[in-house]
C-alpha cells in the first residue's frame, strides 16, 4: 500500500528503525520488530547509511521482512548522494521485487570521506528519477528549523516546493523539541502551496550524549525547559529516560490537539520507549 493513502482516513503513526551495526547480527532487529509489531504502526521505515554500501542490503532485507513477514507497510530510506543512476535502478528493482512500495527519497549528508557521485545533487533529482523509472510512493524529508546548509528559511521552503512538485507524496520532518517551529513551518509550507501530508518527527531523548550528537548533526534548538530537564536528570539514567518519554508525550499531545497529520517516532531501536509512548497516546490517535 502507498502510505500517502493512509492520511485520508486517520492520524498516522509510523516508527523508524535502523539496521544493526556492522558488528551486530541482523537478527537483533527482528527481536526489536517482534516487540514493535504490537504497537500496530501504520508503517515502519528503515534507514540507510549514505556514507558507504554496508547497509544497502540490510535496508532492503529488513524493509522486505516488515512488509512480507510482519504484514506491516514498510518504507525504505534511499539517500542518493553516493549512488549512481545505475545503482539506484538496481535498488528500485530490488524494492519492486520485494513488494516495498514506499521510498523515503533523500540526498544524504555530505561525508568528507567520500567524494559524492555526480548523478544526483539534491533529493529532488532522485524524486524525479524515481518517478521516471518506477511506480513508488515517494516521501521526502523537511526541516522545521530550516536545513543546516540553507542560508535562510525562504530558500529552504522554495527548495522543498521544488521537491514536492517533482513528485513527493508526503513529508516527514527532522526531529524538533519546540513545537512552535513545527507550526511556523507548517504555515510557511501552506503559504508556498505545499499541500501533501506532513508528519512530525519526534525523538524521545534518553541520554545527554544522544542529544549532544543530535544537536551537532541536525542543528536543532533545545528549549530552556528541555535543558533544565537534562541538567536535573543527566546523572540518573532511569529518571532521564522517563523524563525524555514524558517530554515526547507532551510534544505529541500538543501536536495532536493542533491537528497534525501524523507522528513519525524515531525509536532508536528501543521498543521499551516506543511502547511507553504508544500507551500514552494511542487513544489520541483514534480520536
Binders in 233-262 for ligand FAD, by CB under 6 A:
none
Q: How many residues bind ligand FAD (CB under 6 A)?
A: 24
Query: C-beta of 51: minimal distance to ligand FAD in Å?
Result: 7
Residue 171, interface with ligand FAD (CB under 6 A)?
A: no
User: Is 35 or 109 the residue whose CB approaches ligand FAD more closely?
Assistant: 109
The Cα–Cα gap between 198 and 218 comes to: 19
User: Is 107 or 241 the residue whose CB approaches ligand FAD more closely?
Assistant: 107
Handedness of CA 50, 58, 208, 266 (dihedral sign): positive
Residue 145, interface with ligand FAD (CB under 6 A)?
A: no
Instruction: Choose the stretch contacting ligand FAD; rule: CB under 6 A; options: 20-28, 87-95, 106-114, 203-211.
Output: 106-114
Residue 106, interface with ligand FAD (CB under 6 A)?
A: yes
**16 catalytic per annotation:** yes
- Total Cβ atoms within 10 A of residue 286: 8
Strand locations in the chain (E): 12-17, 43-46, 74-79, 102-106, 137-142, 170-173, 198-202, 262-266
The Cα–Cα gap between 40 and 25 comes to: 25
Residue 107, interface with ligand FAD (CB under 6 A)?
A: yes
Instruction: Choose the stretch contacting ligand FAD; rule: CB under 6 A; options: 24-32, 103-111, 244-252, 254-262.
Output: 103-111
**Residue whose C-alpha is closest to residue 56's, from 2, 29, 92:** 92
Binding mask 111-130 for ligand FAD (x = CB under 6 A): -----------xxx------
- Total Cβ atoms within 10 A of residue 122: 16
Query: C-beta of 205: minimal distance to ligand FAD in Å?
Result: 17
Residue 147, interface with ligand FAD (CB under 6 A)?
A: yes
Query: C-beta of 209: minimal distance to ligand FAD in Å?
Result: 20
DSSP letters spanning 156-222:
HHHHHHHHHHTT--EEEEPP-S-HHHHHHHHHHHHHTT--S-EEEEE-----HHHHHHHHHHH-PPP
Q: Contact with ligand FAD (CB under 6 A): which of 167, 197, 201, 204?
A: 201
Query: C-beta of 102: minimal distance to ligand FAD in Å?
Result: 13
The Cα–Cα gap between 104 and 97 comes to: 17
Q: Which residue has the cell 520488530?
A: 33
**Residue whose C-alpha is closest to residue 130's, from 122, 139, 138:** 138
Which is catalytic among the residues 16, 73, 101, 145? Answer: 16
Contacting positions for ligand FAD (CB under 6 A): 47-48, 50, 77, 79, 104, 106-109, 122-124, 141, 147, 149-150, 156, 159, 162-163, 172, 174, 201
Amino acid at each position: 500500500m502507498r502510505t500517502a493513502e493512509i492520511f485520508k482516513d486517520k492520524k498516522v503513526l509510523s516508527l523508524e528503525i535502523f539496521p544493526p551495526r556492522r558488528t551486530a547480527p541482523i537478527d537483533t532487529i527482528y527481536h526489536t520488530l517482534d516487540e514493535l509489531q504490537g504497537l500496530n504502526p501504520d508503517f515502519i521505515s528503515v534507514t540507510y547509511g549514505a556514507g558507504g554500501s554496508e547497509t544497502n542490503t540490510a535496508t532492503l532485507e529488513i524493509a522486505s521482512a516488515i512488509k512480507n513477514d510482519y504484514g506491516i507497510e514498510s518504507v525504505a530510506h534511499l539517500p542518493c548522494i553516493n549512488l549512481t543512476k545505475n545503482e539506484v535502478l538496481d535498488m528500485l528493482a530490488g524494492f519492486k521485487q520485494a513488494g516495498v512500495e514506499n521510498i523515503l527519497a533523500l540526498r544524504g549528508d555530505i561525508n568528507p570521506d567520500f567524494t559524492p557521485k555526480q548523478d544526483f545533487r539534491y533529493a529532488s533529482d532522485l524524486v524525479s528519477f524515481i518517478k521516471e523509472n518506477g511506480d513508488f510512493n515517494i516521501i521526502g524529508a523537511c526541516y522545521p528549523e530550516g536545513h543546516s546548509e540553507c542560508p535562510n528559511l525562504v530558500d529552504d521552503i522554495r527548495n522543498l516546493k521544488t521537491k514536492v512538485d517533482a513528485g513527493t507524496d508526503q513529508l516527514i520532518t527532522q526531529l524538533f523539541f519546540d513545537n512552535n517551529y513545527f507550526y511556523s513551518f507548517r504555515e510557511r509550507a501552506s503559504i508556498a502551496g505545499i499541500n501533501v501530508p506532513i508528519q512530525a518527527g519526534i525523538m524521545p531523548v534518553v541520554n545527554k550524549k544522544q542529544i549532544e550528537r543530535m544537536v551537532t548533526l541536525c542543528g536543532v534548538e533545545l528549549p530552556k525547559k528541555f535543558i533544565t530537564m537534562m541538567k536535573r536528570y543527566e546523572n540518573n539514567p532511569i529518571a532521564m529516560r522517563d523524563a525524555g518519554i514524558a517530554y515526547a508525550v507532551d510534544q505529541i499531545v500538543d501536536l495532536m490537539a493542533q491537528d497534525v497529520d501524523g507522528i513519525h517516532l524515531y525509536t532508536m531501536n528501543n521498543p521499551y520507549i516506543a511502547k511507553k509512548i504508544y500507551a500514552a497516546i494511542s487513544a489520541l490517535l483514534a480520536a
